[in-house]
Amino acid sequence: MTDLALVKAEARKAAFARRKAAHALRDGRSAAFLSQVLGAHRGVPLAGYMPIRTEIDPLPAMAEAAAHGPLAVPVIAGPGQPLRFSRWHPGRVLRPGPFGAQIPERDDFLIPEIVIVPLVAFDASGGRLGYGGGFYDRTLALLRAARPTLAIGFAYAAQEAERLPLEKTDQPLDMIVTEKGVRAFPR
């Protein structure tokens, strides 16, 4: 394992502990600011995610957004490949996908212009540390090469790190939304 890989592993370990503690204190209103942000983008193709383990839950905001435009969730095609996004709406039949996330039973893919990104940690400049598979980095790079794509990190405020061990391939966030507020990172 390289030095950078070790530093990232330690950063993830610390961030997972902070996220777990924040998740234990959740109050059911964590998606309020996310709903406000998405309300300003009604009708724009959007991708959210189905929360796993201690990830902050975007589903209330996604349910609101689905009433106003196309919404999808990520589908992992395979290791080293970008994500694809299959249409989702409340009540849609789901099946288990990789890593425990639920995905639509039938694929109906779309290309989002806004992606709500789950994460392990973020920093004050919009840097993001994910799980280490590179799925969102590959996907955001591909989407951004085709057209402007807004990447909104959604996390507990406690997941903020002072500094993150980032690489050139790590795609930055345009915005971070937490249960405590919203920060934009103009690029």
CATH topology of domain 3-184: Rossmann fold (3.40.50)
The domain limits of the chain are 3-184
Query: How does pLDDT run across 131-172, given as a tens digit for each residue?
Result: 989 999 999 999 999 999 999 999 999 999 999 999 999 999
Cα 143 to chain centroid, rounded? 15
Query: How does pLDDT run across 34-67, given as a tens digit for each residue?
Result: 999 999 999 999 999 999 999 999 999 999 999 9
How much is the CA Rg of the chain, to the nearest whole Å?
Answer: 15
What is the C-alpha separation between 95 and 101, in angstroms, rounded? 9
Question: What band does 101 get if pLDDT is binned at 50, 70 and 90?
Answer: confident
What DSSP designation does 160 have? B
What is the C-alpha separation between 45 and 93, in angstroms, rounded? 20
Beta strands in 20-157 (DSSP E): 46-47, 71-75, 84-87, 94-96, 102-104, 109-110, 114-117, 121-122, 128-129, 150-154
CB neighbourhood size of 11 (10 A): 18
